[in-house]
A and B are shown apart, each in its own frame.
Chain A
Amino acid sequence: MNVLVGPQSIGKSCVLKIAAFFSWLEKRIELTQDPVGVTKNAYKTHFIEYYGLYDYDQKDTYIRYETTLMVIEYKSQTMSTEWKKDRWNYHRSRISYIPSERNLIATISNWTKVDVNDSLLEYFSGWDEARKSRRKGLDILSTGVQYSYKKENDSDVVRLKNGKNLLLSETSSGFQSLVPLYVHLSYLRSGQYYTNRKSSYASKAENERLLHLLIDKLVQGNLDKEVIESIAQLQYVVEYGDKRKTVVGSAEMQKLAQTYRNFVNTKRSDIFLEEPENNLFPPTQVQLIEWLIEMSTDRFRRNSLFLATHSPYVVNCFLERPERDYKLFIAAPVDDKGMSVIRAASDDDLQQMYDYGVDVFFNYETFVG
């Protein structure tokens, strides 16, 4: 879990977008095993254009992204990649960037026709998928209200504590903000794993290519009868998406099958969330963040959470955690020309913030300088 704080217009959202973009890029590189093809034009089309960051790009922009799987560098307007030892240890995730403009959703019914940047459109699309999976009521935290999707008239219904039903667009600004976010996140947390999503032809073809690549790299073409039989079973998995199918064979084949499944089956989500506190009553902010922390610390799913916030209530939810399983990043300006720096608070800093009741929003420079 990463929490990013800092003054307005310091570049928090930009950092979140960079992180989301590079996570996506890493995913595409892993799934295609084609770093050159994937990175070609990716920065321009899938980052600058996708997030509408036309005025932010500089000739000397330098970005380095590093995980246990690979290193990706953007330097001198060129992208380069380097594999690391965990190259084959990839676990497919669903990447979701949730922008702060998200509550437009509650008031725009025909969002597909609205001229917004692709990232917002994709969030709308993700919300659409999530809402349609919620025909049965979903309790919205412990607010006492429940959300459900009505297929008959393609509407979003919110049932209030007193039993009265309202359309989402008729609810308070707080619920217009909270409900879509919570429905979407609930879908990422569990709903997506229980919804039958048909794979596209392109996706099936990509998986098949990947399988043969894995065989080539990991089994190195040593195809005896047993291997061929196992490949047939793996292809069955490709074709029918049968996650339970057991692959028999040598330990090598078992490993190959597991690797392949890690690549093609989504088991977790990487969430990049801007200002979860938007329009929310502080106790509801706390409930939401505690729920998000629970989601992100689920050992089975291993979801990740990267959020930017202006709320001391949100930060406090993390500071109060006995486990230091999060990082608090503090952004601060270094000059008047728009340069800023981001620093991770040390364990000592976090302890001091907690012990001395420090409001990091009024004291960010103390922890950065």
Chain B
Amino acid sequence: MKKDLCVIPECYVDTNLISCLLGGIGVNHQKGCTRVTGVMEKRLADRFAIGVIDADKVTPGYLAKLRKVAGLQHLCVYKSDIRPHYIITIHKAVEDFILDEAHKAGVSLSTYGLPDTLDALKKQTKKVGSDKDSRFKALFGKLEDVGEVAALKELLMYLRSEGYLAQEEQVVSILAGEDYV
């Protein structure tokens, strides 16, 4: 499997989403936002890294050392001024993001065998194995080119392709795309 271990999502369904948006490659799934930031801060201190975490838990200390450069309703991008690190936070959490974006796109989750309510969806996303769940993969395939999911995809693709050379202005510009709002 092709992989990019500098992309570090926090939980099972985040991992599924990020992997799908990047064409099915393997990413560096860590359990919990503090592990994402811990790996970035300690193991990848001098290397390019993109963390993806939900914003529904206690803010990790490392995130406070980064500067917010752009944001949408569900996505915020933080950048380190001293390291080649970006952290994307998903608001309030990935389940809200999925439901909201599906709703905006007129997509019913039940079409994909998934529940349409937040609590029921959380029961599915918390399952071990939801990082590989084909129902989510199909849903993300449908959503990847619309709304903030498309913004997230373009942002990830840009950051991955540019790596150390990624420009803050370009990040801002990607999230400012009218189509995403």
Taking a contact as CB atoms under 8 Å apart, the answer to whether B26 and A363 are in contact is yes
Question: Given A356-B39, A357-B39, A369-B1: A362 and B30 within 8 A (CB)?
Answer: yes
Cβ 8 A contact of A356, one of B15, B28, B128, B132: B28
Closest to A361 in B: B31
Give bound CA distance, A363 to B18, whole Å. 14
Most central of B30, B44, B131 by chain A CB within 10 Å:
B30
Taking a contact as CB atoms under 8 Å apart, the answer to whether A362 and B31 are in contact is yes
B121 at the A interface (CB under 8 A): no
Closest to B15 in A: A362
B123 at the A interface (CB under 8 A): no
B3 at the A interface (CB under 8 A): yes
Give bound CA distance, A356 to B50, whole Å. 12
Q: How far is the CB of B34 from chain A (nearest CB, A)?
A: 12
- Which residues of chain B are near A363, meaning CB under 8 Å? 26-29
Q: How far is the CB of B134 from chain A (nearest CB, A)?
A: 10
Give bound CA distance, A357 to B31, whole Å. 12
Q: Please provide the chain B residues from 6 to 37 with a CB less than 8 Å away from any CB of chain A in the complex.
A: 6, 15, 26-31, 35
- Our count of residue pairs bridging A and B at CB distance below 8 angstroms stands at 46
Taking a contact as CB atoms under 8 Å apart, the answer to whether A365 and B26 are in contact is yes
Taking a contact as CB atoms under 8 Å apart, the answer to whether A366 and B3 are in contact is yes
Q: Please provide the chain A residues from 264 to 321 with a CB less than 8 Å away from any CB of chain B in the complex.
A: none
Query: Interface majority SS on B: helix, strand, loop or mixed?
Result: loop
B181 at the A interface (CB under 8 A): no
Question: Given A356-B43, A357-B39, A357-B44: A362 and B1 within 8 A (CB)?
Answer: no
Give bound CA distance, A352 to B26, whole Å. 13
Q: Please provide the chain A residues from 343 to 369 with a CB less than 8 Å away from any CB of chain B in the complex.
A: 352, 355-359, 362-363, 365-369
Closest to B3 in A: A366
Cβ 8 A contact of A362, one of B3, B29, B42: B29
Taking a contact as CB atoms under 8 Å apart, the answer to whether A356 and B6 are in contact is yes
> Chain B 117-155 against A: per-residue CB contact (8 Å), 1 yes, 0 no?
000000000001001100000000000000000000000
- Which residues of chain A are near B26, meaning CB under 8 Å? 363, 365-367, 369
Q: Can you name 14 extra interface pairs (CB under 8 A) apart from A7-B128, A357-B39, A359-B29? A: A352-B5, A355-B5, A355-B43, A356-B5, A356-B28, A356-B39, A356-B43, A357-B44, A359-B30, A363-B29, A365-B1, A365-B132, A366-B29, A367-B26
Where the two chains meet, the residues of A that have a C-beta atom closer than 8 Å to any C-beta of B are 7, 352, 355-359, 362-363, 365-369
